[in-house]
Amino acid sequence: MSNIEEKISEAKKLALQITRETEEDRLMTLSVGPQHPGSGHFRFVIKVDGDYIVYVDPDPGYVHRGHEKMCEYRNHFQNIPHLERPVIHDSCNITYSYSLAVEDLVGITVPRRGQFIRALASELSRLSYTLYWLAIYGIFLGHSTMFMWPAGDRELLIDLLERLTGARITNAFSIPGGVRCDIPNNFKEKCLAQVNYFEKRLKEYEDIFFNNPLLRQRTEGVGILTKEDAIKLGVTGSVLRASGVPFDVRKVEPYDVYNEIDFQVQYMKTCDSFARAYVPLLDMRESCHIIRQLIDKMPESGDVREKLQFNIKSSPGETYKRVESGRGALGYHVVSDGSPKPYRVKASVGSFRNLLALPFLLTGSKLGDMPAIYWSLNYWPVEADR
C-alpha cells in the first residue's frame, strides 16, 4: 500500500517538474509572415502570453532592392520606370514626387494643361491603390465580399488609367517636364461617367462593410493611437488623419494646381482601427470630387510637356519635394552635382513611417486583433523596403 502511495507522490513531483512554469516558458514565440498570405513580403516576430501579445519585433527587408542606389547610375528619365516598381498600382504618385524634385533642380515649370493631367492621373492612381488596400483589408478580416467588390470596381479606374497613360499599372506617365501624352478623345466624358458611378458604389461599401455590426465589433476601440502618440511616432497619411490631425500635403504644401482645387481634409477623432479604415473611404469620396473639378477647370488646349533633352543636366544643388500618396506623405530628396545622373536620391515613404506604430499598437492587444490593426496601418512592405 505504502509502495503505491510513494509511487503516486513521486509521479506528482515529476508532473510538477514538467509543468513548472518560468517566465520564458509562459511566452510562445510566433513568426507572422513572410509565408503568411496576408502579411505581404514582411515578417514580424510576436510573443504571446495566452491570448495577449507582449512583444513585437517587425523584421522588414525581404524585398529590399537597392532602389535608391540604382538611381545613381541612371539619368532622370531612365529612373522613372524603375522608381515606380515599389508600388506599381500607385505609380503616378511616386513618379510625381520625383518629377517635381527634378523640375526644381533643372529650373523649369510645367505647362498648365500638363499640371492638370498629372494631377488627374495621380488622383486616379490614388483611388486604385486605396481600393486595392481596402480589398486586402476586407479579406484579411474574413469578409470575402469586400475583397470582390473593390477588386472589381478597381477596373473602372484601371480602365481610365489605361486610356490615359497606355498601361494598366506601371504607368511611367509623370516625367520631369510634364506628362508623356495628351488626353485621348472622349476621355473627359468617359472619366466623369465612371467616376460618378464609382462614387455611388461607395455608399454600398458603407452598407455592407463599414456599417456592418460584425466589422464594427472587430475594429471599434481596437488599436487606439492617440493624437499625441501619432505625432510623436511620426506616422503619416490616413493613419495620422484617423488620429484627429487634419494633415494632408495637398492642403498644407499645395503643389502644382492643388491650391486652386476646393476640397476638405477628411479626418476622424476616434483614433481606433475603424477610423483608420474609414478615413481612406472618405478620402476616396474627396478624390472623386477633386477629379470632377480637375476635368472642369482643365484648359481646353495647350502643351502638356516641357521638352527636355534625354540627358538633361541639372544645376548642382539639392531639393526635397513631397506629394500626398495613397499611404501618406511621399517625398524625394535629390542631390545633384551637375551631371545628368543624380548624386544621391533618398525617398521618404509613408509605409515605413507607419511601420513604427505597429509594435506600439500590437503590444498589449489580443492576437485576434492583429489583422485588424496590421492592415489598418496602410502599410505596403515593398515600398517600405525599397
Partner 1 sequence: MNTATGYIKALQSGTKHVVMKRFTFRYPQEKLKFVGDGYQFDPKKGVGIAGIRGRHILFHDKCTGCQLCAIACEGIAEAITMVKVDEQWKQNKKSIMPQIDYGKCVFCGLCVDACPFYALYMTDDFELSSYTKSHLIYTPAQLAVKPKYDGEVEIKIGKRGAYHGR
Residue 250: CA count within 13 A, CB half-sphere: 24
Site pattern 166..195 for partner 1 (x: CB under 8 A): xx--x-x-------xxxxxx-------xx-
Name which of residues 112 to 171 contact partner 1 (CB under 8 A): 145, 152, 155-156, 159, 162-167, 170
> At 348, phi and psi to the nearest 5?
-115, 110
For partner 1, the closer CB: 296 or 310: 310
Question: Before 34, cis peptide (omega within 30)?
Answer: yes
Q: Are 304 and 119 in contact (CB under 8 A)?
A: no
Judged by CB under 8 A, does residue 65 bind partner 1? no
Name which of residues 200 to 219 contact partner 1 (CB under 8 A): 204, 207-209, 211-213, 216
Judged by CB under 8 A, does residue 327 bind partner 1? no
Among 5, 20, 107, 307, binds partner 1 (CB under 8 A): 307
Sign of the CA dihedral 52, 367, 274, 239? positive
Rounded CA separation 217/269 (Å): 18
Residue 197 to residues 163, 293, 362, Cα–Cα distance (Å): 18, 16, 38
Site pattern 70..109 for partner 1 (x: CB under 8 A): ---xxx-xx-xxx---------------------------
For partner 1, the closer CB: 24 or 310: 310
For partner 1, the closer CB: 4 or 310: 310
Judged by CB under 8 A, does residue 57 bind partner 1? no
Residue 217 CB, shortest distance to partner 1, in Å, is 9
Angle between helix axes 112-140 and 91-106 (nearest 10 degrees) is 150
> At 299, phi and psi to the nearest 5?
-65, 145
Rounded CA separation 188/81 (Å): 26
Residue 159 CB, shortest distance to partner 1, in Å, is 5
Among 303, 335, 348, 356, binds partner 1 (CB under 8 A): 303
Q: Are 101 and 320 in contact (CB under 8 A)?
A: yes
Residue 103 CB, shortest distance to partner 1, in Å, is 16
Nearest partner of 147 among 159, 135, 156, judged by Cα:
135
**Binding region for partner 1 (CB under 8 A):** 73-75, 77-78, 80-82, 145, 152, 155-156, 159, 162-167, 170, 172, 180-185, 193-194, 197, 204, 207-209, 211-213, 216, 303-305, 307, 310
